[in-house]
Structure 1
């Protein structure tokens, strides 16, 4: 009776290697190492939540201390009364210490651990330290652990587990044998849930199990927790667990309705799309989960557009596959990409708006109008194509140019249907483009327009090019400045790479090649010198002012050291 009171995630926690699902490669490597007595000093187990890191750590601790090594796959079934497996399973073995690094992060906790490592195990072959969420340790704690981790006593083994391996110092990782526990595949998770449902005699259909498997996102613990919740919610009342009931319980909208919502958005039917989103929300669906489902639909549309109708995919029904395939025909990749980016941004914005539904509805309206927006390439083409001349061919096109009627506008970028544009025409069009259009093109391409030396200094400051800015202000005198060319003189403090660096930056910022020439002429004063001259002028005026004279009368020892201009 005691075992039945446990949640499913605890009740069906793997106790041996043969019960671990989805990690076949790791299991085989560890088993072979134990059989050959090539056990490393430390293991590092990484992966998302619920894939079996702590469980695997306990199984390893049992395996290296078990007296029946020939039966590694079934540790629990073959052990006699003098084995250590049962005590390790119940987390009460004196030689296997489990430490939660999330609550014990300091150097004092690690020092206590290292001090206890000096002593031999009381009964087991190895003393095992299992450190869970090891990435939570402080820098000092990691440093304290380093030496012992590299050269532990022969009787000591470490097993580290973490969900965020990037936060662990490389010096620690390099001293461990690392295993990355992967997410459980959908087919493996579905098969596992079916076995558990049969053992629990749960009334649940395959579609509901499939939905639970998808909602778990590869985490066994999450899948078992959702299944346990569904059994407690519906089977107790004698109801069969269906896909609809699981969606209601989790706040997930029906995917067919999500596909319909995406179709209405693509078709630009604003009123119907808003009504559909309202109905989905009224059913209790979580807006964030709805947006995640929309992302999945967008992915399936792009996949269908690239590779044809979706087949052999357990996650997509035949009717859904038909709907997605029909949608993929009427949409291009640029629009798909824009929808994807807008939905991703919408998911981020949900955390900033107290009312999720308002943000969700606003995103739907933006997506509907998104199709009407021109692409950046189209904007450039439209600007360039607006350069026109005041003549056009008549409706009845003739070879004789005398038939051309004056005063009619023609688009120079578009040739007559029966005429092939010559190289001479293209050259002429290139020359005839007005500076205004080229400036507009530059704006669209995010290029800078630099028309003075002061503007150049301002841009270097904005781009955080500190060394360039310093040289331009203090070490460079302008002799002549014009578009595409700068003549300068300089002092001995100028950086060696100044000319090359400035030329590269100007090409990057303006999209054009600039020439920086060094002149023998003296040139104008530097910006810094001008600032100093102006500052001295302000200081002199302040010293001659009536305010300063009155202050001096009352405070004879006062000295004016600096002046700032108030803008």
Structure 2
């Protein structure tokens, strides 16, 4: 193996546009503009880490300042300008890290330096990496120079956070979005590097490196560098060794784990996960791979082996396809949502390993809610014995499956499934309120008072407008202050008090004024009548600034009268 001390990411850094991989359109566009002498005032390169933003910036700088010209850019016999730019010590090409020089003073120094023309090259070029780190004041100080720089001055910006750059700056630049490197292209590239370094690694190990790097060339080369270090003893880096080095595990184990979950074998599921955990796999890596495999179970019919970005081999692809035929899409989507929630748990629990085991156990019980082989799911109400199944399986005339009224003026219906909950009464005598005792809205208010359901009564009196109340059906409208859990709470209490299911319908009709509105209206009428009385007028003659704000009725005096 080549013992060159330079890391691969630096050793094989592209030096010309021809060396760039995966950015053909960008390279061709920039190269043509330079050849046509239509060079913009500023370039802006954006994209994820490790795809060639700073490298492309240096290549542009060399293309503009190469002693041999753009047409014959240095490849083998490198000129002094290209050599200095590659090593970041050219006097006319200034590279600045905006992460460490973020202030307006740094930009002012830059602008001051730009007043002087280039010393040895054709252009003076400022390469600013991670430009989004500049402060707002620094960007503002840069605007005028950026829009109308001297003929000899060019700016090249690179960033991973394009949204953090002010639009006024972006509009003054020629923007290029560098894309992730395609898996096959990146695989061919690192395979060539492996051969040049005389490394001994299998294609499966290289495919794993491509997958982990997520389209980043620098990440792929760094991982390859790390892998080749282990080959001093002459052994081949196979997939198993690579998984151990990078903390990844065999996907066939995860596919087997899925199958055991679908079969409901709790002990085998835990044993399989513990084998994976003992290989040094972190819970978050496990969860991300779990989500990835869920995606393939859901969309396997729409993919081919080549479209899985080297995640799956032929055998694993066929296993997933076979298992997915027995699993419903609804179950897979439910698993996906549940797994996403578990990622949040991992940040708050101290023992993530135990949390993962409980996660898998919960998946097994979550799966048991539905009948996996068929798309017809079974209701879990068998465990609830006394639930009124008829109310869920039959619909009445004029209603849909859930008993929602078929009326044009009805805009919504909220029916809480909690109504169907089996309330275990010790004796029928414990049902203190029968259905026939709640026959009106006033009866409902009285029951709330007797049951000390103060919050429920408050909502009924203040935020509800009654449209109709008959035959265990309540149609209402409401204002924006209504509590979001009101319908659920009322439904549950009505079922608890009457042992019957009530239909609560929301209507777009205004309905009767609420109890609170009625009280306010009566009070206002009383105040107006007092203001028209002779007594009030006599008071105003003696106290012109007086204002009537409230009226209280003397109940004792009314009784005596």
**TM-score of the superposed pair, with normalisation by structure 2:** 0.71
Q: Does 1:251 align with 2:250?
A: no
* Residue matched to 1:191: 188
Change in Cα spacing, 1:38 to 1:509, as seen in structure 2 (3 Å) is farther
1:524 pairs with 2:519: yes
Tell me if 1:307 matches 2:283: no
Taking CA–CA contacts closer than 8 Å with sequence separation of 6 or more, which of the two structures ends up with the larger relative contact order? 2
Q: In the alignment, does 2:412 pair up with 1:440?
A: no
Counterpart mapping for 1:98-497 below 5 A: 98-233=95-230, 235-304=231-300, 306-307=301-302, 310=305, 314-373=310-369, 413=393, 427=397, 439-441=415-417, 482-484=465-467
What is aligned with 1:76? 75
Deviation at 1:194, TM superposition (A): 0.8
Q: Which runs of 5+ in 2 are unaligned?
A: 372-376, 406-412, 421-440, 446-453, 469-476, 488-504, 525-561
Matching residue of 1:514? 508
Q: Report the Cα distance in structure 2 between the residues aligned to 1:310 and 1:176, rounded to whole angstroms.
A: 41
For residues 271-301 of structure 1, the C-alpha deviation after alignment (integer angstroms, 9 at most, x for no partner) is: 1010011011111122221221111211111
- CA–CA distance in 1 between the matches of 2:242 and 2:464? 72
Deviation at 1:70, TM superposition (A): 4.6
Deviations 1:155-189 (A, max 9, x none): 11111111111111111111111111111111011
Return closer, same or farther for 1:51/1:262 CA change in 2, 3 Å cut-off.
same
Alpha-carbon contact 1:41-1:156 (below 8 Å) kept: yes
Cα pair 1:15 1:59 within 8 Å, conserved: yes
Distance 1:299 1:372 in 2: 21
Q: Deviations over 1:496-529 (max 9, x none)?
A: xxxx99599999997722333799xx94238999
Q: What does 1:45-84 correspond to in 2, within 5 Å?
A: 45-71=45-71, 74-77=73-76, 79-80=78-79, 83-84=80-81
Q: CA deviation at 1:347?
A: 2.6
Q: For residues 168 and 517 of structure 1, what CA distance do their matches in structure 2 show?
A: 53
How many residues are aligned here?
452
Conserved? CA contact 1:503–1:513, under 8 Å: no
For 1:352 and 1:440, locate their aligned partners in 2 and report how far apart those are by CA, in whole Å. Answer: 32
- The reply to whether residue 91 of structure 1 matches residue 88 of structure 2 is yes
2:12 paired with 1:12: yes
Alpha-carbon separation, structure 1, partners of 2:484 and 2:274: 52
Distance, in Å, in 1 between the alignment partners of 2:522 and 2:57 is 66
Q: Following the alignment from structure 2 to structure 1, what is the Cα–Cα distance between the partners of residues 125 and 522?
A: 69
Deviations, residues 456-509 of structure 1 (Å, cap 9, x unaligned):
9998xxxxxxxxxxxxxxxxx98x964248xxxxxxxxxxxxxx9959999999
Report the TM-score when normalising by structure 1.
0.71
Instruction: Label 1:443 to 1:4 Cα distance change in 2 as closer, same or farther (>3 A).
Output: farther
CA RMSD of aligned residues (A): 4.1
* 1:48–1:163 Cα contact (<8 Å) kept: yes
Q: 1:41-63 CA distances to partner (integer Å, 9 max, x unpaired)?
A: 11111111111111111111111
1:369/1:381 CA distance change after superposition, 3 Å: closer
Q: Distance in 1 between matches of 2:167 and 2:39?
A: 21
- Match of 1:556? none
Q: Distance in 1 between matches of 2:464 and 2:342?
A: 47
Instruction: Classify the secondary structure of the residue corresponding to 1:338.
Output: helix
How far, CA to CA, are the matches of 1:220 and 1:528 in structure 2? 77
- 1:85 Cα deviation after fit: 0.7
Q: Distance in 2 between matches of 1:440 and 1:132?
A: 56
The alpha carbon displacement at 1:10 in A equals 0.7
Cα distance in 2 between the residues matched to 1:90 and 1:15: 11
Structure 2 distance, partners of 1:246, 1:33, is 44
Distance 1:456 1:429, change over 3 A: closer
Deviations, residues 355-398 of structure 1 (Å, cap 9, x unaligned): 221222121112121112369x9889999x97677xxxxxxxxx
Secondary structure of 2:290's counterpart equals helix
> Does the aligned pair in 1 maintain the 2:42–2:156 contact within 8 Å?
yes
CA contact (8 A) 1:263 1:327 kept: yes
Cα deviation, residue 115, structure 1: 1.2
**CA 282–526 in structure 1, closer or farther in 2 if over 3 Å, else same:** farther
Could you tell me whether the CA contact under 8 Å between 2:467 and 2:511 is conserved in 1?
A: no
CA distance in 1, matches of 2:323, 2:523: 63
- Going from structure 1 to structure 2, the CA distance change for 1:57 and 1:413 (only over 3 Å counts) comes to same
What is the distance in 2 between the residues matched to 1:183 and 1:128? 27
Does the Cα contact within 8 Å between 1:412 and 1:429 map onto a contact in 2? no
Question: 1-side partners of 2:522 and 2:138: how far apart?
Answer: 52
- Tell me if structure 2 keeps the 8 A contact 1:230–1:246: yes
Decide whether aligned partners of structure 1 residues 438 and 133 sit closer, same or farther in structure 2, where only a CA change above 3 A counts.
Answer: closer
